[in-house]
Amino acid sequence: MAAFSASARLERLEREIERAKNRYPEATLVGIADGAESNWKFLEKQTEEQILDFYHASGYLGALAEALHPNTVSKQKEWLTENCRELKHEKGKAGELLNLMKEVKEEKSHSKNLTEKLQAAITYYENHQHQMDYAEYLEKKYPIGSGVTEAACKTLVKQRLCSAIPNSNGINRDRKTLTYRKL
């Protein structure tokens, strides 16, 4: 049995979304994803609100913490903790952080590596600031991360692969294992 093509997976997902819309017509459909452009093209057609996964957004703040507090890991961690909390709970914080990234990149001399990381963070925040209103999303009781779903998928795959009986190649090639790999 051949694996689903990318287009076949998207078609199947579209059918599932349509089924959910029909079953829960008053529900607000919210899409959560990382920064990949293909995710947003799909989600814009299928959902009413699109949210950038909080974990991915907060991950880009490490470069700014490093630039603000070079050589002081404890201060970097403290700054990250406080600013991740503010990003989650204060309206407009993503824009403030974006402006700070730009200022720090221009004002200070940084290594080439740190400058590249700052530029990547700036680009990411510029592209997704409109999907980072976490305080508003939380007020609306929307999820702001896809971690629970990702963990469930990871658990399912791990359970399926770990229950396989190794053969001479180390992997069970039975139909059950192959079926779950195609999800």
pLDDT band at 169 (very low <50, low <70, confident <90, very high): low
Q: Where are the domains of the chain?
A: 6-145, 148-181
- Helix then strand then coil, in percent of the chain rounded to 5, is 65, 5, 30
Q: According to the model, what pLDDT value does residue 173 have?
A: 47
Residue-wise pLDDT tens digits, 71-91: 999 999 999 999 999 999 999
Mean pLDDT of 110-137: 96
Percent of the chain's residues with pLDDT above 90? 57
Percent of the chain's residues with pLDDT above 70? 79
Q: According to the model, what pLDDT value does residue 3 have?
A: 62
- Report yes or no: 62 and 81 within 8 Å, Cβ to Cβ: no
pLDDT exceeds cutoff 80 at 180: no
pLDDT band at 108 (very low <50, low <70, confident <90, very high): confident
In 3D, which of 90, 94, 64 has the Cα closest to residue 76? 64
Who wins on pLDDT, 141 or 155? 141
> Which residues on neighbouring strands pair with residue 31, listed in sequence order?
50
pLDDT band at 35 (very low <50, low <70, confident <90, very high): confident
3-state secondary structure (DSSP) of residue 111: coil
Q: Whole-angstrom Cα distance, residue 57 to residue 84?
A: 9
3-state secondary structure (DSSP) of residue 33: strand
Q: Which residue has the tokens 């692969």?
A: 161
Q: Whole-angstrom Cα distance, residue 153 to residue 163?
A: 15
pLDDT exceeds cutoff 60 at 61: yes
Q: Whole-angstrom Cα distance, residue 135 to residue 93?
A: 9
